[in-house]
């Protein structure tokens, strides 16, 4: 056969300007891979010519962007390559498009570019099992991806994983309530029950202790007295969850989010009930957000959600009486280096929290005029541009609006890549094994009593007069003893279930009987101070200090760790042949060494501690005190008794400094 006069390469260039459809892709494969076919060429030429004619009747109303810069390619616009800088990824991406318009292909195309950039990448697949193909694509560029099916999950919904237990109790109660469709009052009941469990397991005082599990939460809810209808609803949902997914929830330590955030994972939740899909996704996102709040990091984590309207729902927010934790965190996690890629088919029930907080908005062809109107207005399109989109947007073509760089909406033609569909179930099981190997083997439950039994004979000796206490005094005393790290008397009152008036009377009685001490704790706000309460013991606090000492040291240590410093509590060193200890030794990233001394009173011992740190050669000594009164007394003694040439090495930060 003679070579055709027409050049298929020129036809390919014309098609690329319009956006290559799956049909085009199939026909071009025939032309280039199997040799020239006149019928295929004629069909392709006719199709492209018709689309060019239709476009000539409806000229684009979008301006062609100026030259764009960045390391992430979106596709091609009418002038050049569409791209942006990956540093804008935490501003989030929101896309909308009907089934079959190329959302998944476009999403995978973007994610592949983030593999060398992000430290972790999660992609959620709720229906198709199509996204497991990213495992094959990632391997081609020397990256290992894990495919985790829902039956291979090993999680404990009640494990704070280092987050503040009181905060996580509220987060956990919320996503269980929203995901399982419980009445709003169930959130309060669950919060009370989870907090009670954390107290019994002493998570408030020892975050490293083993957490409770779902079956123990069910038992705790059974003991709750009040609102029988909500209580029964909780029990029915949780018992059904435990029966259906016992292998997932029967462990105390499941997948660690700190490790998951370092991996490329495709989560497959197809075949799972919708409410359980919502529960698993809500848990994974919530624990990731909570972990980044507690452990700030600049390592980028990309989270891609296909069909994500389930998490950002206006109806769910109305039932929750306000935005959920996930919706709230969406607006603040930009500085936490978490990038959300959210895709949905319709914006009918889409929460404004994600619409308002997405820096990149992408509109593909959608299924209703209302979606064009609503999302088009959110993108800042004119009525003429919206009308043009209704009749001209095709497969592989999008309208994109960015909140940075080129600020006007523009047309983009994304490439059509093939997602491999040959990843077998055996490969999936093999890939997820490395996650399963990290899960500790279940041991015996370690439920601890609320009442402390670890103080031995000294505890009995300390409380020999407790028999004469009133019920309120006993309740408050137990609360203070079992939660020594709580920094506010008001919080103690609430956790003990006492009104402010009753608790104040009980506190004064305990103070008069010398069973507790109170210390003003500055809050950093003018005219406001917390009261730190601690139990009086007949034994010396020793080198590790009392409850107030430990609270201040822990607060300082968390701040230094957030600044990427190395810390060591009670570090020992030799001074003039004698072994000395510093409360907290800090090594800054640039090599500077700092000593932090915790002084809870204005005794002369504070000067001795400062002198030993000067002799040990620390470049900076920080003296942390509970309030200004103690701080100023120590500062005055330093000025009088320590050589003035050493004063520049000594500072007196307020507690509020470590809240920054």
Residues 261 and 363 in one domain: yes
Residues 434 and 476 in one domain: no
Residues 271 and 243 in one domain: no
Calculate mean pLDDT across residues 599-623. Answer: 87
* Nearby residues of 600 by Cβ (< 8 Å), 6 or more positions away: 519, 545, 546, 548, 549, 552, 625, 626, 630
Q: Quick check: 544 pLDDT over 70?
A: no
Instruction: Using alpha carbons, select from 308, 267, 302 the residue that is nearest to residue 150.
Output: 267
Residues 20 and 99 in one domain: no
Q: Quick check: 1 pLDDT over 50?
A: no
**14 phi/psi in degrees, rounded to 5:** -65, -40
Residues 51 and 186 in one domain: no
Residue 3: inside a domain, yes or no? no
Residue 568: inside a domain, yes or no? yes
Given the structure tokens 């809810």, which residue do they identify? 221
Residue 558: inside a domain, yes or no? yes
Q: Quick check: 410 pLDDT over 80?
A: yes
Residues 196 and 166 in one domain: yes
Task: Measure CA 218 to chain center.
Answer: 26
Contacts 24+ apart (CB under 8 A), 197-203: 197/158, 198/160, 198/165, 198/166, 198/169, 199/450, 199/482, 199/483, 199/495, 200/447, 200/448, 200/449, 200/450, 201/446, 201/447, 201/448, 202/448, 202/482, 203/160, 203/165
Q: What is residue 455's predicted lDDT score, i.e. its pLDDT?
A: 40
Q: Quick check: 340 pLDDT over 50?
A: yes
Residues 529 and 554 in one domain: no
Q: Which two tokens stand for residue 70?
A: 């960045």
Residues 392 and 503 in one domain: no
pLDDT band at 135 (very low <50, low <70, confident <90, very high): very high
**DSSP conformation class of 313:** B
Find the range with the poorest average confidence among 397-401, 460-464, 647-651: 460-464
Q: Quick check: 449 pLDDT over 60?
A: no
Domain extent at residue 599: 547-659
Residues 523 and 561 in one domain: no
Q: What is residue 460's predicted lDDT score, i.e. its pLDDT?
A: 40
Residue 456: inside a domain, yes or no? no
Q: What is the mean pLDDT of the chain?
A: 84
pLDDT band at 19 (very low <50, low <70, confident <90, very high): low
- Per-residue pLDDT of 237-253, as tens digits, reads 999 988 888 888 888 99
Q: Quick check: 7 pLDDT over 80?
A: no
The number of distinct structural domains making up the chain is: 5
Q: Quick check: 489 pLDDT over 60?
A: yes
Cα 436 from Cα 182, distance rounded (Å): 31
Residue 623: inside a domain, yes or no? yes
Residue 65: inside a domain, yes or no? no
Residues 317 and 422 in one domain: yes
Residue 454: inside a domain, yes or no? no
Q: Quick check: 216 pLDDT over 90?
A: yes
């Amino acid at each position: 056969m003679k070579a055709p006069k027409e050049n298929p390469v020129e036809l390919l260039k014309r098609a690329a300007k319009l956006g290559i459809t799956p049909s085009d892709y199939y026909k071009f494969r025939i032309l280039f891979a199997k040799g020239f076919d006149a019928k295929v060429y004629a069909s392709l030429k006719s199709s492209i010519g018709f689309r060019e004619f239709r476009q000539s009747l409806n000229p684009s109303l979008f301006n062609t962007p100026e030259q764009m810069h960045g390391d992430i390619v979106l596709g091609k616009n009418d002038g050049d390559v569409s791209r942006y800088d990956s540093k804008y990824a935490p501003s989030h991406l929101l896309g909308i498009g009907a089934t079959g318009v190329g959302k998944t292909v476009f999403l995978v195309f973007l994610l592949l570019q983030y593999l060398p950039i992000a430290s972790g990448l999660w992609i959620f697949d709720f229906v198709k099992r199509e996204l497991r193909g990213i495992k094959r694509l990632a391997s081609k560029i020397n990256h290992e991806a894990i495919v985790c099916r829902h039956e291979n999950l090993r999680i404990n919904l009640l494990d704070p994983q280092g987050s503040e237990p009181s905060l996580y109790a509220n987060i956990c109660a919320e996503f269980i309530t929203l995901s399982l469709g419980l009445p709003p009052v169930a959130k309060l009941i669950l919060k009370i029950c989870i907090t009670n469990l954390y107290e019994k397991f002493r998570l408030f005082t020892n975050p490293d202790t083993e957490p409770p599990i779902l079956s123990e939460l069910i038992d705790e809810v059974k003991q709750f007295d009040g609102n029988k209808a909500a209580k029964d609803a909780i029990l029915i949902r949780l018992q059904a969850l435990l029966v259906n997914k016992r292998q997932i929830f029967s462990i105390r330590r499941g997948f660690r989010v700190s490790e998951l955030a370092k991996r490329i994972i495709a989560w497959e939740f197809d075949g799972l009930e919708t409410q359980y899909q919502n529960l698993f996704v809500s848990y994974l996102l919530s624990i990731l957000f909570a972990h980044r709040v507690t452990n700030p990091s600049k390592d980028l984590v990309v989270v891609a959600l296909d069909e994500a309207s389930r998490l950002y729902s206006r109806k769910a927010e109305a039932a929750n009486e306000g935005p959920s934790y996930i919706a709230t965190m969406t607006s603040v996690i930009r500085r936490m280096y978490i990038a959300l890629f959210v895709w949905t088919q319709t914006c009918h029930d889409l929460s404004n929290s994600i619409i308002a907080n997405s820096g990149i908005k992408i509109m593909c062809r959608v299924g209703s005029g209302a979606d064009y109107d609503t999302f088009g207005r959110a993108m800042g399109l004119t009525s003429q541009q919206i009308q043009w989109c209704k009749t001209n947007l095709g497969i592989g073509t999008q309208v994109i609006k960015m909140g940075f760089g080129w600020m006007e909406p523009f047309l983009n033609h994304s490439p059509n890549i093939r997602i491999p569909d040959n990843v077998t179930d055996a490969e999936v099981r093999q890939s997820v094994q490395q996650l399963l190997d990290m899960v500790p083997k279940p041991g015996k439950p370690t439920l601890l009593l609320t009442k402390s039994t670890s103080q031995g004979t000294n505890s009995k000796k300390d409380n020999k007069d407790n028999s004469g206490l009133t019920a309120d005094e006993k309740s408050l005393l137990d609360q203070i003893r079992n939660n020594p790290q709580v920094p506010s008397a008001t919080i103690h009152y609430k956790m003990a279930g006492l009104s402010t008036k009753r608790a104040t009377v009980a506190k004064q009685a305990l103070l008069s009987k010398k069973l507790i001490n109170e210390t003003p704790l500055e809050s950093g706000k003018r005219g406001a101070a917390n009261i730190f309460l601690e139990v009086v013991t007949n034994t010396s606090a020793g080198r590790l200090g009392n409850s107030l000492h430990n609270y201040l040291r822990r607060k300082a240590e968390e701040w230094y760790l957030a600044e990427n410093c190395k810390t060591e509590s009670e570090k020992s060193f030799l001074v003039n042949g004698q072994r000395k200890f510093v409360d907290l030794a800090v090594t800054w990233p640039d090599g500077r060494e700092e000593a932090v001394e915790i002084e809870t009173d204005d005794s002369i011992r504070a000067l001795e501690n400062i002198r030993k740190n000067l002799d040990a050669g620390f470049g900076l000594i920080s003296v942390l005190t509970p309030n200004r009164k103690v701080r100023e007394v120590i500062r005055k003694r330093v000025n009088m008794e320590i050589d003035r040439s050493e004063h520049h090495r000594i500072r007196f930060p307020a507690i509020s400094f470590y809240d920054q």
